[in-house]
């Protein structure tokens, strides 16, 4: 459904753009924000900081998982020995279920915190990029600057560009921000390497999903 909605928006945008171009001649340029971000030292610093933060969260999660596993082993040994009273068994099962839920909740909030921190750290960087895009576009008399990176619906914003490289201002934006790009570097037309998506913790370290105690 999201992809369909995205394609509809792209189609409407293309139709609107065509109508405007027919009405008057306008200078339209492109910019690859993903490419610009990937060349900014601020973005690389953010990625490094997020990796450290993710490692801290993962260490806490693994510690909680290890404690859960230890108590689960104690519970299972007690049940198998036949010496653990029914009341104690019930208490330990209740404790294990609580720990299991706590681990799952921690994992969920950790993912949300990581995403929120990523967006918060990127916000001033994106504002800096936008300011530079505005400056470069105005200096070069562009009417519109359109993004060329692949959006989250899987479709590129720009459907066609006759002289893509000549109209792309990405390197001019980097130059405006004082960032030197090697002469051999070319601006990629489509990229999907968003910094905020490279450090999201996975669900592979949650013991709660594989070690649920069974009631005797």
pLDDT digits (tens, 9 = 90+) for 106-157: 999 999 999 999 999 999 999 999 899 889 988 988 888 888 765 545 555 5
Is the per-residue pLDDT at 44 higher than 80?
yes
189 assigned to some structural domain: no
* Distance between CA atoms of residues 48 and 118, nearest Å: 11
212 assigned to some structural domain: no
128 assigned to some structural domain: yes
186 assigned to some structural domain: no
Q: What's the number of domains the chain is made of?
A: 1
* Distance between CA atoms of residues 78 and 83, nearest Å: 7
8 assigned to some structural domain: no
211 assigned to some structural domain: no
Q: Which of 100, 74, 104, 99 is nearest to 89 (CA)?
A: 74
Q: What is the pTM of this model?
A: 0.60
User: What are 93's two structure tokens?
Assistant: 């099962």
Q: Residue 173's pLDDT band (boundaries 50, 70, 90)? A: confident
69 assigned to some structural domain: yes
Lowest mean pLDDT among 28-37, 105-114, 207-216: 207-216
138 assigned to some structural domain: yes
Which domain covers residue 88, as residue numbers? 26-177
Predicted local distance difference test score (pLDDT) of residue 157: 58
């Amino acid at each position: 459904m999201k992809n369909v909605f995205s394609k509809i928006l792209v189609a409407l945008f293309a139709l609107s753009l065509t109508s405007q171009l027919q009405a008057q001649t306008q200078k339209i340029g492109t910019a690859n924000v993903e490419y610009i971000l990937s060349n900014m030292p601020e973005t690389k610093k953010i990625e490094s900081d997020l990796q450290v933060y993710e490692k801290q969260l993962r260490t806490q999660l693994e510690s909680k998982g290890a404690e859960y596993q230890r108590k689960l082993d104690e519970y299972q040994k007690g049940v198998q020995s036949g010496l653990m009273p029914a009341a104690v068994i019930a208490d330990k099962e209740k404790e294990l279920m609580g720990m299991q839920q706590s681990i799952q909740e921690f994992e969920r909030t950790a993912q949300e915190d990581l995403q929120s921190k990523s967006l918060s750290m990127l916000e001033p960087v994106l504002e800096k990029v936008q300011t530079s895009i505005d400056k470069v576009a105005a200096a070069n008399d562009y009417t519109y600057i359109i993004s060329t990176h692949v959006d989250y619906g899987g479709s590129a914003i720009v459907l066609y560009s006759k002289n893509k490289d000549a109209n792309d201002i990405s390197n001019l934006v980097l130059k405006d921000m004082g960032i030197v790009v090697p002469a051999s570097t070319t601006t990629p037309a489509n990229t999907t390497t968003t910094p905020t998506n490279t450090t999201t913790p996975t669900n592979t370290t949650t013991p709660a999903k594989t070690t649920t105690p069974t009631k005797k």
